[in-house]
Amino acid sequence: MRLSMTSDLWWKNAVVYCLDIETFADGNGDGIGDFRGAIQRIDHLDRMGVTCIWLMPFFPTPDKDDGYDITDFYNVDPRLGTLGDFVEFMRVARDRGIRVIADLVVNHTSDQHPWFKEARSSRDSRYRDWYIWSDKPEPDDPKGVVFPDKEDSLWEYDEKTEQYYYHRFYRFQPDLNTANPEVQDEISRILGFWMELGLSGFRVDAVPFLIEQVTDSGDDLPDPHEFFACLRAFLSRRDGSAILLGEVNLPYPDLVKYFGNDLGDELTMCFDFISMQRTYLSLAREDARPLAAALRERPSPPRDSQWATFMRNHDELTLDKLSDSEREEIFAAFGPDKDMQVFGRGLRRRLPTMLGGDLERIKMVYSLLFSLPGTPVLFYGEEIGMGENLEIEGRLAVRTPMQWTPHRNGGFSDADPAKVSIPMPKGDFGPEKVNVSAQERDPDSLLAWITRLIRHYRDCPEFAWGKYTVLDTGVDAVFAHRADCDGETVVAVHNLGDAETEVELTLEGFDSSKVLTDLLVDGRIEIDDSGRVGFPMGRYGCRWFRASAPETAPADSADPS
């Protein structure tokens, strides 16, 4: 397919890398990551092939919720640097051809934000209606409490003004009244401000909660889809190539509405939480059928929109869209101890520890991620197989400092270890054994594998752009799919089981005039006249094939040519 198309719609086959400035690299030796430190590490991402950096919140904050409790949407947390440092970071990233997006956290503010301080000063405050108030706490749905380990209600009493304010998350994070046109205008200004400084879009936090009916006032709320359509239109007017990547953890029929249905005029991309959760069920069972079913059910996004695929993110590994029994299967396989679980619905572990450090299996899972239809998103440290630190509370267990070297503080900081506030994992997943420096020199390392996958993924735009078909493999443990685009076809096959097996596929539309060339290793497989092809799959094996005529097939490394 034409590369000019993939350039115009860059997000459809981007490689997105999520990082937290606070935990990525310390540039001034105070024990806290900052923009100056991150600048010095951008070449690591460039060498991997990352095309888009997603920044977790870097704004001023009391830091009660790891930066998601914001006190100023127009500045940088002084611990992390200055606006000048941010602009320098953007400049260096752009020089490497890497776009940058950032978290848009406008569902709520910190209770220390000047808007809320003013709002709670008087019922007549000009900012009063920027938040949601009620004379009595409205009836709570216990399922609506996002953090049941910390909160038992969605309402908090304010003694000074004798009303309750609404908080979907923590009590120190009052929800903004995003139905208020003044608040909507302010959100647009926030987007416009950061776009002027170079951002290529935003990852929108907590999308389903941005506009919701929470009081019985009888007032009709604006349609949330009109709000997102207006936000997207504003974004497009400022920069037609900018994106909104939405965190929308809903069933497919509800989720697809946030694309703007067939129009595609709301969110540009949405995370696919359903297939992610089914993937873990397939991994736990060593049975590909749950994942295959999810992809068969998944609706196609609008033409210029895209799904974002992932294996891990910065939050708990949520399993909320599975049944209780399915969730228990995954807990038993990957997090049997209560300390590994969180909120009764997820895991606070990273993938390598869940898979017991089995490198073959870990490599297979990331091969699966990069071949699934959609745009892959990596969480920092995934490329080297970092583990979690369960001694840290809650979701923060997976947000430990990046492990660059085997030396003091894992190369994250030159500070006295006592000044590094977030402790690293120890043992088999500590920086002495898992770090960038060692893996850069090891051709068989996970980092080398991820780099290789990114290169081949970028060479196979069909995976992201093409029409995909889940294939029947005849083996429950083996997942296979093909992607077709502009007359080109690629096929990916993954063995989720620990036993070797033989696989036979039938590729409609193909005969013996075409061959399959393995893209991850040398080798070519013949297709018979009925489109059938058979081959072995090793324990946790993975194979990517390109279908082509023999004379145009990619060459093996040993070919004389």
Nearest to 541 by CA among 521, 511, 512: 521
Residue showing tokens 């209770």: 111
Q: Which residues, 6 or more positions from 324, have their beta carbon under 8 angstroms from its beta carbon? A: none
Of 65, 205, 287, 462, which one is the catalytic site residue?
205
Phi-psi bin for 122: left (phi > 0), alpha (psi -120 to 50), beta?
Answer: beta
Phi-psi bin for 62: left (phi > 0), alpha (psi -120 to 50), beta?
Answer: alpha
- Give me the half-sphere count of Cα atoms (radius 13 Å) on the Cβ side of residue 58: 28
Instruction: Confirm if 203 and 104 have CB atoms less than 8 A apart.
Output: yes
Q: Does 247 participate in catalysis according to the annotation?
A: yes
Amino acid at 20: D
Amino acid at 96: R
- Burial string for 288-324 (b: 16+ CB within 10 Å, else e) reads bebbbebbeebeebbeebbbbbbbbbbbbbbbebbee
Residue showing tokens 């036979």: 504
What's the CA gap between 558 and 561, in Å, rounded? Answer: 8
What's the CA gap between 244 and 270, in Å, rounded? Answer: 8
Q: Does 205 participate in catalysis according to the annotation?
A: yes
Residue showing tokens 């990525």: 24
Residue showing tokens 């420096």: 437
Nearest to 249 by CA among 184, 318, 164: 318
Of 34, 247, 272, 382, which one is the catalytic site residue?
247
Residue 417 DSSP symbol: G
Residues classed as catalytic: 205, 247
